[in-house]
Amino acid sequence: MAADRWEAYLDSLEALGWRFGLERMQRLTSLLGLPQNRFGSIHVVGTNGKSSVTQMIAALLEAHGTSTGACISPHFVRWAERVQIGGAEIAPQEFAAAMERVAQAAEVANRSLEEGDAITQFEAATAGAFVAMAAAQVQAGVVEAGLGGRLDATNVIQSKVTVLTSVGLDHTEWLGDTLTEIAAEKLAVLRDGTTLVLGTVPEEVAALARETADQRGARLLPAPADPGDDISLRAAGSFQRHNFALAMAATETFLGRIDREACRDVAARLLIPGRLELLEGDPPVILDAAHNPDGAAALAESLPAVSGGRQPVCCLAVLADKDAAAMVAALAGAVERAICTEVPADALAHGGRPGARSLPAAELGGLCERAGIPAEAEPELDAALGRAGELARAEGRALLVAGSHYALGTARALLDATTHPRPPGVGAPGPDSPPAV
């Protein structure tokens, strides 16, 4: 079956079941023969940095001779982007084969669920990743949690290593109102007798991590904040150095060894799409998925090194459930002006967030003005990109697209592919991959 049929199948499913829980996912994976148990796994949880760390670990494991798959989210354009085998997006025929098996199993599982309940998009997509990785006979799977951890569909893996990247106030409507409540949801994935690799977190979260590890008989390994002076990253941003240090610690824990020469090689060629991703052109374009205050602060800190020292013009879209005021405050002083826009509804639906909505462009523009960022409101993303590009080109500045994962795929599709080609690299589509849009 064509891969696009299964893209449409995932689009047709409910984004979230009427109740949280692992029962649906457990039934689905049981019907599939527990594919997640056919490879060793590393579980990556946290507020920010999950996708970067997941892809970094996968690349490092491959460089150490361990065949590896990765399950990441969200995607920018295609659901298939969420499944990587050997550092590249899964081939269309392999994606189709995995999703056909999932659809058949989901039909059976749905018959045993309560009326009105059914396998969700994220559950089906995650199960598809497990099936694909098992079919590829990978030795290791690096799995990024979707929302939280405890009741997340990914929490059916028997992980050997858990990585907690960071904890911030995001998704509070689901995970809790305090850092410790949110951290508890994420730390709940830690398996007995395994290892928790801990990123830089507030002391109250570190204390909870120590307590949780002690209760589970798990080893706690605080990761260094930097990978070392001998490691030079192609991926831009000071936050990526911290992420790479986390990835190295997780890799060493999983394998019981680390080869720094292999790490240097990965660092020198690794790119993470949508994280300070620079597209050369006129104007140069920077794509960054910063979608909460901590992410916006990390972006602001690293922008000067990517933008040539001149504040970029920002095309900004933020979802209504985010702390937009805090995000804008973090970007104040880092961007020259903002063209405020909205994520198209179809992009949210195809990205796994149907029913979500953007903060109105005019309201976002008002927040920018109050924070000292000159702003214009243009609800249509294509028009906003055009206006921001026009200003950036006229002033010799870069164009920054930020504020939501779900804006980047649409923005990338609207950019001239010949003027703004995606550079090749680990974690990005290569020359034989489908066109990056």
* Count of other CB atoms within 10 angstroms of residue 337: 19
Same domain, 285 and 231: no
Q: Does a structural domain hold residue 111?
A: yes
Last residue of a domain, one of 269, 288, 305: 269
**Contact criterion met (CB below 8 Å) for 79 and 6:** yes
Q: Does a structural domain hold residue 90?
A: yes
Q: Give how many domains the chain has, as a whole number.
A: 2
Q: Does a structural domain hold residue 185?
A: yes
Q: Does a structural domain hold residue 422?
A: no
* Count of other CB atoms within 10 angstroms of residue 338: 30
Q: Does a structural domain hold residue 174?
A: yes
* Mean of pLDDT values over 92-99: 96
For residue 160, what is the domain's CATH number? 3.40.1190.10
Q: Mapping DSSP to helix (H, G, I), strand (E, B) and coil, where does residue 277 land?
A: strand
Tens digit of pLDDT for each residue in 269-282? Answer: 999 999 999 999 99
Same domain, 185 and 242: yes
What letters, b where the CB count within 10 A reaches 16 and e where it falls short, cover 143-177?
bbbbbbbbbbbbbbbebbbbbbbbbbbbbeeebbe
What is residue 170's predicted lDDT score, i.e. its pLDDT? Answer: 58
* Mean of pLDDT values over 299-304: 95
In the structure, what pLDDT confidence band is assigned to residue 184 with cuts at 50, 70 and 90?
A: very high
Same domain, 283 and 265: no
Domain extent at residue 75: 3-269
Same domain, 78 and 151: yes
What is residue 310's predicted lDDT score, i.e. its pLDDT? Answer: 93
Same domain, 233 and 336: no
Same domain, 312 and 176: no
Same domain, 232 and 265: yes
The two structure tokens encoding residue 366: 């008002």
What is residue 416's predicted lDDT score, i.e. its pLDDT? Answer: 59
pLDDT at 429 over 70: no
In the structure, what pLDDT confidence band is assigned to residue 425 with cuts at 50, 70 and 90?
A: very low
Last residue of a domain, one of 269, 291, 313: 269
Same domain, 227 and 304: no
Last residue of a domain, one of 228, 246, 269: 269
* Mean of pLDDT values over 2-8: 86
Please give the backbone phi and psi of residue 67, each rounded to the nearest 5 degrees, phi first. Answer: -65, 130
Tens digit of pLDDT for each residue in 7-54? Answer: 999 999 988 765 678 999 999 999 999 999 999 999 999 999 999 999
Same domain, 369 and 226: no
- The pLDDT mean for the chain works out to 91
Is 360 exposed, middle or buried, given 0-12, 13-18 or 19+ CB atoms closer than 10 A? middle
For residue 292, what is the domain's CATH number? 3.90.190.20
Q: Does a structural domain hold residue 142?
A: yes
DSSP for 144-204, written as a single string: E-SSSSTTSTTTTS--SEEEE----S-SHHHH-SSHHHHHHHHHTTPPTT-EEEE-S--HH
Tens digit of pLDDT for each residue in 223-262? Answer: 999 999 999 999 999 999 999 999 999 999 999 999 999 9
**Contact criterion met (CB below 8 Å) for 202 and 224:** no
Please indicate whether residue 2 or residue 129 has the higher confidence score (pLDDT): 129
Same domain, 291 and 245: no
Share of the chain above pLDDT 70, in %: 92
Q: Does a structural domain hold residue 203?
A: yes
Same domain, 82 and 220: yes
Distance CA 60, CA 252 (A): 9
Same domain, 222 and 349: no
Tens digit of pLDDT for each residue in 306-353? Answer: 998 899 999 999 999 899 999 999 999 999 999 999 999 888 888 777
Please give the backbone phi and psi of residue 319, each rounded to the nearest 5 degrees, phi first. Answer: -70, 155
Q: Does a structural domain hold residue 56?
A: yes
* pTM, full prediction: 0.92
**Contact criterion met (CB below 8 Å) for 340 and 378:** yes
